[in-house]
């Protein structure tokens, strides 16, 4: 996915570091710095396993940085790209080459079994063949992602969501801007919550947050954080939320509780949320109408009953209204990823449809609002699309901020009890529509 055409997807990163030499806006010096670190393939010898470098945004080979193209919104936003190539042969290729050389040595020596030295020789010959193939670019795989860097507030959106791509981007960014003391930090739900609550002066409240017990633990299982039997366990009154611990940020469960909170509001007649939009996304206040639509992926917060995916038919009932969704929620499964519709209720606000992974804080498949009029230049279109992507990111964070305000206030116990009662009292929905239910380890077709 990209920012400048088609549907939009992104992860959120923070630009950290406050050195005096840190760039404050997009200028010729910044573009020259990026231009010095454009992607360059290794031309001699075996390439590195991972090669990375910046691009000017339009495609893999674009290296022409200009203020007109890459400086958006009066120089406050930089648009560019990053190219990341991996050079790694498949394991099966490595094994096949080694087997071929071992077979040749057995034939030459007349032996059925090779000794240790001969096996080492076959391995070295296979690695030499692989090195030659790698040098020829045989196993090169290229990936390109677009970046939107809001300079004033240190917000960076990356259109790639794969973990290895993000790791390579962070390493490259740190290398390029080490003189300015800048680095990138991927922001999951837990890290975003820590930042937001710190600004509210609620750091202590954040440190005390534990996963909410909306239901009892499922029967017949042992709660764990992951597949490790020795992993620490929560008490019987607290879900373990294994994916948050596996991801390295235990507070990421707040992104899942956000989805439950939104789901509850949608089904109890309060789908609008008053939000404060961050300055980097346009600022001001807005009222956002919510709807959960098209898809719903859930996992057991107790680490007992596995995962489930629901998909609704086009024009049919939303997955959250299916009996299977009710049973999953009542059985301790929490939403991990869902289809969302966000609509600004004020003025000429736009409507976004997207998929949103709460704990990872990842957006995918986002359809942007239609522009009010045709664009006269590419610059106008790039500026508009960048502003829309930033607005969507800001609205999501504004909704999260509203949730966190309630989650850390004296109002939360009453809200939690209301959600518990809602989960316990939801009536079964007749299965009138066809849906696909993916329940690990099997896939079941449910037809009304």
**Residue 254: strand, helix, or coil:** helix
Last residue of a domain, one of 186, 201, 222: 186
Residue 1 lies in a domain: no
Cα–Cα distance for residue pair 437/319, rounded to 1 Å = 10
CA distance 404 to 400: 6
Residue 334 belongs to some domain of the structure? yes
Q: What is the pLDDT of residues 392-437, one digit of tens each?
A: 999 999 999 999 999 999 999 999 999 999 999 864 444 333 333 3
Q: Mean pLDDT score of the chain, rounded to an integer?
A: 88
- Indicate whether 326 and 292 sit together in one domain: yes
Residue 58 lies in a domain: yes
If one counts the domains in the chain, the total is: 3
Specify the pLDDT at position 400: 98
Residue 176 lies in a domain: yes
Q: Which of 165, 183, 212 is nearest to 408 (CA)?
A: 212
- pLDDT at residue 2 in the model: 85
Average pLDDT over residues 311-324: 78
Is residue 3 a part of any domain in this protein? no
> In DSSP terms, which residues pair with 355 in a beta bridge?
339, 364
In a shared domain, residues 264 and 352: yes
Structural domain contains residue 171: yes
**Digit-coded pLDDT (tens) for 90-104:** 999 999 999 999 999
- The answer on 224 and 165 residing in a single domain is no
Residue 268 has pLDDT above 80, yes or no: yes
State the CB neighbour count (10 A cutoff) for residue 137: 12
104 plus 253 within the same structural domain: no
8 Å CB contact between 211 and 203:
no
Q: Could you report the per-residue pLDDT of 58-109, keeping only the tens digit for each?
A: 999 999 999 999 999 999 999 999 999 999 999 999 999 999 999 999 999 8
pLDDT at 236: 66
Write down the pLDDT at residue 44. 79
126 and 177 both lie in a single domain: no
Residue 270's CB is within 10 A of a number of other CB atoms, namely: 10
Q: Is residue 157 part of a domain?
A: yes
Given 186, 211, 245, the domain boundary residue is: 186
Q: What 8-state DSSP symbol labels residue 63?
A: -
- Residue 206: in which H helix or E strand, if any? helix 203-208
Residues 187-215, mean pLDDT to the nearest whole number: 95
Q: What is the pLDDT of residue 345?
A: 83
Residue 2 counted as domain residue: no
| Greater model confidence, 17 or 349 | 17
The DSSP letter of residue 352 is E
Do 440 and 314 belong together in one domain? yes
pLDDT category at 247 given cuts 50, 70, 90 is confident
Domain residues for 97? 91-135
**Percent of the chain residues past pLDDT 90, beyond the cut:** 73
Sign of CA dihedral 394, 395, 396, 400: positive
pLDDT confidence tier of residue 1, bands split at 50, 70 and 90: low
Residues 221 and 119 in one domain: no
Contact 13, 167 (CB under 8 A): no
Residues 6+ apart with CB under 8 A from 9: 1, 159, 161, 362, 363, 364, 365, 366
Question: How many secondary structure helices (H) and strands (E) does the chain include?
Answer: 12, 15
The candidate with the shortest Cα–Cα distance to 143, out of 158, 155, 131, 133, is 158
Out of 166, 186, 206, pick the residue that ends a domain.
Answer: 186
pLDDT number for residue 317: 77
Mean pLDDT of 364-385: 91
Half-sphere exposure of 67 (CA within 13 A, CB side): 9
Confidence of residue 208 (pLDDT cuts 50, 70, 90): very high
Residue 441: its pLDDT value, please? Answer: 35
Q: In terms of pLDDT, which residue wins out, 261 or 109?
A: 261
Bond prior to 106 in cis (omega within 30° of 0): no
pLDDT > 70 in the chain, percent: 89
Q: pTM to 2 decimals?
A: 0.87
Beta strand spans in 345-380 (E): 351-357, 362-367
Phi/psi at 335 (5° precision): -65, 135
- Name the DSSP class of 374: -
347 pLDDT more than 80: no
Check whether residue 67 and residue 166 sit in a common domain: yes
pLDDT-based confidence at 232, cuts 50/70/90? very low
H-helix segments, 234-377: 242-246, 253-267, 323-330
Measured torsion, CA atoms of residues 17, 21, 24, 28, in degrees rounded to the nearest 10: -130
**Beta partners for 351?**
343
349 pLDDT band, cuts 50/70/90, is confident
* Neighbour count for residue 131 (Cβ, 10 Å): 13
Residue at token pair 């995916």: 309
What pLDDT shows up at residue 344? 92
Residue for token digits 């570091």? 17
225 and 300 inside one domain: yes
Task: Assess whether 333 and 306 both reside in one domain.
Answer: yes
Tell me the pLDDT band of 446, cut-offs 50, 70 and 90: very low
Lowest mean pLDDT among 255-269, 272-286, 421-435: 421-435
Sign of the alpha-carbon dihedral angle for 316, 419, 224, 222: negative
254 & 302 share domain: yes
124 & 264 share domain: no
pLDDT on residue 445 = 35
């Amino acid at each position: 996915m990209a920012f400048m055409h088609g549907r939009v997807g992104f992860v959120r990163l923070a630009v950290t570091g406050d050195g005096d030499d840190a760039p404050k806006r997009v200028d010729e010096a910044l573009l020259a710095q990026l231009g010095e670190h454009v992607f360059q393939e290794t031309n001699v010898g075996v390439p590195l396993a991972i090669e990375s470098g910046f691009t000017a945004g339009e495609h893999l080979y674009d290296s022409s940085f200009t203020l007109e193209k890459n400086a958006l919104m009066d120089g406050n936003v930089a648009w560019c790209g990053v190219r990341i190539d991996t050079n790694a042969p498949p394991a099966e290729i490595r094994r096949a080459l080694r087997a071929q050389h071992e077979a040749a040595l057995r034939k030459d020596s007349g032996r059925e079994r090779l000794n240790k030295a001969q096996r080492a020789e076959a391995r070295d010959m296979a690695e030499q063949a692989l090195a030659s193939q790698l040098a020829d670019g045989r196993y090169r795989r290229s990936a390109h992602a677009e970046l939107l860097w809001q300079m004033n507030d240190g917000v960076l959106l990356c259109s790639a969501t794969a973990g290895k791509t993000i790791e390579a981007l962070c390493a490259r960014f740190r290398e390029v801007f080490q003189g300015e003391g800048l680095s990138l930090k991927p922001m999951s739900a837990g890290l975003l919550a820590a930042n937001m609550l710190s600004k509210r002066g609620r750091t202590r409240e954040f440190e005390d947050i534990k996963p909410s017990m909306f239901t009892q633990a499922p029967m017949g299982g042992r709660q764990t954080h992951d597949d490790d039997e020795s992993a620490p366990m929560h008490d019987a009154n607290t879900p373990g939320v294994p994916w948050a611990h596996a991801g390295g940020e235990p507070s990421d469960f707040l992104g899942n509780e956000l989805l439950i909170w939104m789901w509850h509001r949608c089904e109890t007649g309060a789908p609008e949320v008053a939000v404060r939009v961050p300055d980097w996304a346009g600022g001001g206040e807005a009222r956002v109408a919510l709807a959960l639509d098209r898809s719903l992926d859930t996992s057991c917060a107790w680490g007992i009953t596995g995962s489930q995916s629901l998909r609704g038919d086009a024009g049919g009932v939303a997955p959250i209204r299916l009996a299977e969704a009710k049973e999953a929620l009542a059985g301790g499964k929490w939403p991990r990823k869902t289809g969302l519709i966000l609509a600004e209720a004020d003025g000429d606000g736009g409507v976004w449809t997207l998929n949103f992974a709460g704990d990872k804080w990842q957006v995918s498949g986002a359809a942007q609002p239609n522009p009010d009029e045709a664009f006269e230049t590419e610059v106008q279109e790039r500026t508009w699309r960048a502003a829309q992507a930033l607005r969507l990111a800001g609205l999501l964070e504004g909704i999260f901020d509203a949730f966190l305000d309630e989650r850390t206030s004296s109002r939360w116990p009453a809200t939690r009890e209301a959600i518990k009662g809602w989960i316990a009292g939801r009536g079964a929905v007749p299965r009138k529509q066809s849906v696909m239910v993916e329940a690990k380890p099997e896939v079941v077709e449910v037809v009304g």
